[in-house]
Each structure stands twice: as structure tokens, then as C-alpha cells.
Amino acid sequence: MKLLAVETATEACSAALYIDGVISERFELAPKHHTKLILPMIDELMYEAGLKPTELDALAFGCGPGSFTGIRIATGVIQGIALGADLPVVCVSTLAAMAQEFFDRSDSSLAFTAIDARMEEIFWGVYQRDALGFAELVGNESVTPASLVDCAVDSLGVGIGSGWGVYADVLMARLVGRVASYETNNLPRAALIAKLGARGFEQGLAVPVELAMPVYLRDKVAKTEAERQAQ
């Protein structure tokens, strides 16, 4: 199958092309330059493969959680291509892509993923490796103070993501005895969005473009202190 994927939910910007199991990717760490980079990345990949959008089987994008602006960029780009080429879309969690990248280079089978969500909160998700090596969500993703994360499992795992760089002490106290180690420089990549997108397509998870929506988790970009305390 042939699938184009994009990921712009964090400071990293990337696009990837999946062709029958082989993935080509363009990746750049470029905060605030996603709108300038993502379309040229896509054009390069498609040109090198000699493909037109109408020759693809599906699209995939990192639907969040992450930067509100970044998620909107990926959503808009994918919706535009999907509408023009009449293609189905697979929505892939940003946290799942982070976990998949970790599983692909690690022996660990459990990842506590956390992205710094600002406002003293993190985007949180617990992922385990399934029998085929794919990242599988345990419980639900959430936006939460680090002190209130839901562990969901009793097994020993590894913490990954920028949330650990900010709230490691709080998270270690909350997950006492369950975290073997943690790393903080994990960023989602379109190559993993493509891998999980292809898997989702095979499982029948692709949706029409009108249903390809972002996942913000937080319902507002900014909440007042009173609103946060009332949660």
C-alpha cells in the first residue's frame, strides 16, 4: 500500500511516505516554521517516488495531543490533500507515535508517555507493546497535572517525553516502583505516524476526511487559574 503521513504536533516537523513497508521521511527540528516546511517536504517525497496524490491509498496524520497550532497545521494539510484526491485518513495519536519509536529501539514493553502541556499539566498516555510489536494504549490519554496521572498498570516501564523533563520528580513519586528509567528528548516523527497509519488502515480504521479531526484533550487553549482549580 501507499500512504503519506505528516506530524507537526511538537517543535519537530516531518512528513513520511510509506510504500509497501518501506518508509522515506523528511524531518526537521524547527519550532514555528512548520507552515513553511511541511508542504515542501511532502512535495519532495512525492516527486522522488514519482507519485501523485491520487495514486495513494490513504493518508495519516499526528492528530495530537500537542501544540494547538501544530495540530491544526497537520489537520489542515491532510484534509486539503484528502479532499482533493478523495482519500481516506487514519488519525494517529502523537503519544502513540512516541511510544512506537521507543519500542522500535528498546527491549522495554511499557512506556509512560508525557508531553509538557504548559499550565502545570502534561499530555499523558500509557502504552504497551502488543504481540506484533505495535504500541497499544492502556486506559485513556488525558491532560492532567503530573501529580494526578493514572498509571493504569502495575508493570515496570520507562518514562518518555518532554513531560519527564519538567515533572520527573513528581511523576516518579506518583509512579513509585514502576519506572525503571526515563528519557526526555522523545519527539513524534512522521515515519512512525506512517507505520501506525498503515497498521490502522489494515485494521479498517481509516475514516472519510470529514471525520478526520484533531485531538486536543484540553478544551481551551488557555484556562484561568479558577477554571483549572475547579476541575
pLDDT at 231: 36
Distance CA 102, CA 46 (A): 27
Name the residue among 33, 15, 45 with its Cα closest to residue 188. 15
Tell me the pLDDT of the chain (231 aa) as tens digits. 999 999 999 999 999 999 999 999 999 999 999 999 999 999 999 999 999 999 999 999 999 999 999 999 999 999 999 999 999 999 999 999 999 999 999 999 999 999 999 999 999 999 999 999 999 999 999 999 999 999 879 999 999 999 999 999 999 999 999 999 999 999 999 999 999 999 999 999 999 999 999 999 987 544 434 444 433
In single-letter form, the type of residue at position 35 comes to T
Residues in contact with 23: Cβ distance below 8 Å, sequence separation at least 6, in sequence order: 16, 17, 191, 194, 195
Q: What domains can you pick out in the chain, each with its CATH number?
A: 2-93+188-211 (3.30.420.40), 94-183 (3.30.420.40)
3-state secondary structure at position 73: helix
The answer to whether 4 and 79 are in contact (CB under 8 A) is no
Residue 61: beta bridge partners? Answer: 6, 91
Name the residue among 52, 32, 33, 31 with its Cα closest to residue 42. 52
Distance of CA 4 to the CA centre of its chain: 15
